[in-house]
Amino acid sequence: MMMRKLTKFNHTMGFQITHSNKPKKVKPFSCPNNDDDNNGGTNGGSLIPDDVPGYASWLAKHPSALNMFDSITKEAKGKKVIVFLDYDGTLSPIVDDPDKAFMSAEMRMAVREVAKHFPTSIISGRRRERVKEFVQLSNVYYAGSHGLDIMAPPRAVKACDKKGNEGAFQPAKLFLPAIQEMSIELEDTIREIQGARIEDNKFCISVHYRQVPPKDHEMLKEKVKSLVGNRPNFHLTEGKMVLEVRPSIEWNKGDALNYLLDTLGFSNAKDVLPLYIGDDRTDEDAFKVIASRREGFPIIVSSIPKDTIAWFSLRDPSEVLAFLLRLAKWKKSEIHFFK
């Protein structure tokens, strides 16, 4: 029934989507019609930047979640919306110094309001404790190290590991000594490269090169790849001006999303709509999970065209802020309507 409703919804908006149950076969919506919200593409939505080649055609395939807001909430009405958010580039701007990636007071207020109405999780590549320091909210779930370190908020359903132990869920805990050793080796490897820096994210190690001279980028990458290539227990992924060394276990942000749905008791629910907003390659794993469910909304944050499985888009954190405020306002109005 739910699949038929979503198929009808997609057809109404002019979307095309395949029906394979295999996540890798899922294709993002194409040829959407952005007129549902009667916004004319400007009422809180994305203005097409003239200086970005191909952005207009990309936006046609990944329409603004602000412009499509009425259609999104129409599908969400009467359902359990679960909100998942990346941090860097989503709730905060990308900055040269990762220690200064502060979120605004307005964004904090918006996330707090959303979390009052919907179970809300922040899934980041950063160390869980560091993300919590930035966000400063007690009513959200925190998943650090790309979901390798998950903790529930106080007074919420307590997170537990697969053996039933309450507390943080840490599937890579046995890797900690090896991760610490690898961090020391990476420090020695990049020590002489100007601008390179290591960030200890507990269950993964981030090598930032945003401040490295462009001429040294490839040298840094080769050094890190060479070191990681000799360690079968680790693998390397890339993000925005960052290399990330992770333990080689089957776990990513998509697995974290599924784990959190299960922890919240919604893994098998038919009326659940997960909503995930993120900006980086690592968020694609979560987008893929939502796309395979055929229920929910994967939203990419980007002001340039990029390959993504996300169905909708937002240009930057300012549009994420606008979207979250509208989401909280919509839920408030719905609650007042039924009182």
- Residues tagged active-site: 86
Token duo for residue 5: 């409703």
Distance (Å, whole) CA 13 – CA 70:
12
Strand spans (E) along 124-210: 141-144, 149-151, 197-200, 205-208
| Nearest in space to 229 (alpha carbons), one of 175, 189, 173, 283 | 189
Cα dist from 45 to 12, 34, 87, 320, 321, whole Å: 21, 10, 21, 10, 12
Distance (Å, whole) CA 1 – CA 295:
12
Token duo for residue 51: 């200086």
Kind and range of the H or E run holding 291: helix 284-293
Strand spans (E) along 162-232: 197-200, 205-208
Spatial neighbors of 177 by CB under 8 A, at least 6 apart, are none
Asked if 285 contacts 254 with a C-beta cutoff of 8 angstroms, the reply is yes
Does the CA dihedral 231-234-239-243 come out positive or negative?
negative
**Tokens 């980028």 belong to which residue?**
217
State the number of CA atoms in the 13 A half-sphere of 258 facing the CB. 14
Distance (Å, whole) CA 99 – CA 178:
25
Distance (Å, whole) CA 245 – CA 189:
13
| Nearest in space to 65 (alpha carbons), one of 296, 284, 306, 258 | 296
